[in-house]
Amino acid sequence: MTAPLTMRQLTRSTVALLVAATACDGTTRTTSEDPLTGGSLIVAVSTDIGHIVPPAIVQVDQRLVADQVFEPLAWVGDEGRLDDGFRPALADSWSWEADSTVLVFHMNPAARWHDGKPVRASDVRLTFSLYTDPAVGSPDRQPLMRIDSVTVRDSLTPVFWFGSRYPEQLFDAAARMLIVPEHAVANEPRANLPASAFARSPIGSGRFRVAKWDPKTAVELVSDTTHYRRRANLDRVIFAHIPDPTAMVTRLSAGELDAAEILNSEHFRTLSARPELSSRILPALDYTFLQFNLRDPRQPNRPHPLFGDVAMRRALTMALDRDRLVRSQFDSLARVALGPMTHAQALADTTVAGVPFDSAGAARTLDSLGWKIPVGKAIRERAGQPLRFSVIVPTISRNRMSMIVRVQEALRLQGIELVVDALEPNVFIGRLVKRDFDAAFNGTRAEVSLAGLQSYWTTNGAADPTGRNFGSYQNPVFDAHLDSALSARSIAQARAHASEAFETIVADAPAVWLYEMRSAPVVHKRLRTAHMIPGAWWAGIADWSIPSGERIPRDQIGLRVAAAAK
């Protein structure tokens, strides 16, 4: 017996009929006979893409789109290693010369730009010069400065010259840069690449090309059917700008969207429960911490009256049951942070012992430092001064605003008063940069490599007024181990030094390492996904597919032939 139609199904059918009745135009379409190819994917992105000029990319969502349109010389492999396991892209192979300070790439002679011109070694040379030009402002500029130069041996052989050996050389040369076409970019003004003609009509070499660009609305990519390797399985991918997270969840549930990365545990629970959606949890690169200012913000040449003492910082860390705090807010969507690193980083040491939760130990330490709870009072005091400090928090981060309330309550139970100073993001950043805070609920997106730690946690980063070591943490032992890790001859040596560095900084507790977010992509089950790697769940979209029997009406439009326009 057939089940009666629900009101929702009835409405859906009516609307589908209405749409189908009007869905007919004269546009040329191509259809594929390969059962693997075809179908559409609509991905929600929370930020306006703006542009996808690779050297000028500053947002994750921009990289998500650019990775489909452009290619590096090689992709990071599924295991995320920085020294091996790379998947060939524009380069078929590579070899080392001299004392491993010269890296030679052999490019695929069949590689073509979307306008049909061949990809050449000179494109790689130009790309490197753009990434390292301060006028362009690439976030990858500093790590790439470890490469001396890029030269062209012949039209298919770019050569990378390094000043010294280090473990991430191959990653920097092969995967960090998305290669751009010299003939389309060379004459563009470098200080304004996002506004260039190239930005409006990007020409890449990836398995998707840009078909349509509606500013602040959507970017539509279509499969490049003439790609030198193989066309993308899907006909099209649309990146839809959905700024409101609740609206995004509703539209994903309603079937208007196919995929999105979820940042809120309640939303994740809701969507994970839906039978037509599948969810994944992957390590990511964002970590968040309660950073202490080790210098007195009023007299920066003096240690902070509270946080200049490592015993106090460790006591505050011990006072917080981070595991419970993180689970209660995020469930499985985050985990306790290891330190200034995340599980997604190849060189992260996940075995480093953090400062454990020990409320009795924290109380003993605070007592021994003279901070005791007077009879009849709830807040600890020393010489009549209450144990109180302020923490600045950016209001734009819902997760941090929510977590700080839990931290505040946990510290109150230990007799510590935390004054929350919620600030508009620009004010928050201004206070950080001026080092004008006691504690800051800070967070960052870690570099894939360890090079990013230098600005955030080393002595140089503290001394440099433009550095990002806002808490002025300084320990020469940490600096030395990090330097050794960055200049090691092998990944194994680098990992050993990195572990020492992490142990040092975790023991020094310049921050309470609170949580690292996990990447939680939710995808419609009709899509078969591939190559979801830590830090880049979108890496294999060109290999995603939809079985022909599971396609819905929007999958069957075919590969409409449309001119790129923005």
Partner 1 sequence: MIFIAASLSFALIHLAPGDPFSGSITSPGLDPETARIRRSQYGLDRSLLQQYVTFIGNVVVGNLGQSIRHGRPVSEVLGIALPRTLLLMGTALILSFAAGVALGAWQAARRGSRADRVAGATSLVVASLPEFWLGLVLLLVFTYKLPLFPGGGIVGYMHDSLSPVGQLIDRVRHLALPSLTLAVLGTATIARFQRAALLDVLPHDFVRTARAKGVAERWVVYRHALRNALVPTIVLAGLSLPTLFGGAVFVESVFSWPGMGLEAAAAFAARDYPLVVGTALLGAVIVVIGGMITDVLHAAVDPRVRAR
Per rule CB under 8 A, is residue 266 in the interface with partner 1? no
CA 293 to each of CA 129, 357, 424: distance values in angstroms, whole numbers, following the listed order: 37, 22, 20
Dihedral-angle region of residue 558 (phi above 0 means left; psi in -120 to 50 means alpha; beta otherwise):
left
427 counts as binding partner 1 under rule CB under 8 A: yes
Q: Is residue 95 close enough to count as binding partner 1 by CB under 8 A?
A: no
Alpha helices in 470-525 (DSSP H): 476-486, 491-508
SS3 169: helix
Does position 242 interact with partner 1 (CB under 8 A)? The reply is: yes
Closer to partner 1 by CB, 212 or 343: give it.
212
Ranges of beta strands (E only) in 475-548 are 511-519, 521-524
CA–CA separation, 276 and 31 (whole Å): 26
Region from 103-111, 214-222, 295-303, 340-348 binding partner 1, contact rule CB under 8 A: 214-222
253 binds partner 1 (CB under 8 A): yes
Q: Is the dihedral of CA 90, 93, 98, 101 positive or negative?
A: positive
Q: How many residues bind partner 1 (CB under 8 A)?
A: 75
270 forms part of the interface with partner 1 (CB under 8 A): no
Task: Print the binding letters for residues 172-201 with partner 1: x by CB under 8 A, - otherwise.
Answer: -------------------xx-xx---x--
Footprint on residues 394-413 left by partner 1 (CB under 8 A): 394, 396-397
276 forms part of the interface with partner 1 (CB under 8 A): no
33 binds partner 1, rule: CB under 8 A: no
- Choice between 110 and 396, CB closer to partner 1: 396
Residue type, 335: R
Whichever of 256 and 367 has its CB closer to partner 1, that residue is 256
Query: How far is it, in rounded angstroms, from Cα 236 to Cα 37?
Result: 10
As a whole number of angstroms, the distance between CA 235 and CA 560 comes to: 8
- Three-state DSSP class for 332? coil
Q: Which one, 393 or 410, has the nearer CB to partner 1?
A: 393
Stretches 23-31, 291-299, 363-371, 538-546: which one binds partner 1 (CB under 8 A)? 23-31
Q: Which of 123, 182, 224, 286 binds partner 1 (CB under 8 A)?
A: 286
Measured from the CB atom, the residue of 138 and 545 that comes closer to partner 1 is 138
Residue 492 C-beta: closest distance to partner 1, Å: 31
- Cα–Cα distance measured from residue 174 to residue 124, given in angstroms and rounded to the nearest whole number: 10
Token pair for residue 564? Answer: 């790129």
Q: Which of 8, 99, 301, 549 binds partner 1 (CB under 8 A)?
A: 8
| CB of residue 381 to partner 1, shortest distance in Å | 34
- The least CB distance from residue 153 to partner 1, in Å, is 30
Among the residue ranges 213-221, 373-381, 408-416, 474-482, the one whose residues contact partner 1 (CB under 8 A): 213-221
Contact 387, 381 (CB under 8 A): yes
How far apart CA 565 and CA 527 sit, in angstroms, is 28
Of 20 and 110, nearer to partner 1 (C-beta) is 20
Cα 193 off chain centre by: 22
Question: What are the angstrom distances between the C-alpha of 407 and each of 5, 316, 391?
Answer: 50, 10, 11
